[in-house]
Amino acid sequence: MDYNYPIRHDWSTEEMIEVIAFYEVVEKAYETGILREMLMDAYRRFKKVVPSMAEEKTLFKEFENVSGYVSFKIIKAAKEGNDGEKIKGVQH
């Protein structure tokens, strides 16, 4: 990828790693698909770092602007899906 992930510099190294891992699973969902439980696990770890919905929306928008990947749609599909299901995003 030829872009920088949106992160906050007041996060710890571990928190940055968790958020970047979440962005990477969103990328994987769009590129090849990912198992729902892997995506939801990464999202739960992301939410421990970013519990605020407002901050989540801001980060999702920043990530979409640099990558073209819409995190919200992937998370919505995963929440509506079942374990064992592969979640795959469709870019417009």
Q: Which fold has domain 13-87?
A: Annexin V; domain 1 (1.10.220)
Please state the domain extents for the chain. Answer: 13-87
- Higher model confidence: residue 11 or residue 91? 11
C-beta separation of 59 from 6 below 8 A: yes
Is residue 92's pLDDT more than 60?
no
Q: What's the pLDDT at 46?
A: 98
Q: Which two tokens stand for residue 73?
A: 């749609």
* Average pLDDT score, the chain: 94
Instruction: In whole angstroms, give the CA distance from residue 41 to residue 67.
Output: 21
40-83 tens-digit pLDDT? 999 999 999 999 999 999 999 999 999 999 999 999 999 999 98
Residue 24 vs residues 5, 11, 29, 64: alpha-carbon distances, Å? 9, 18, 9, 13
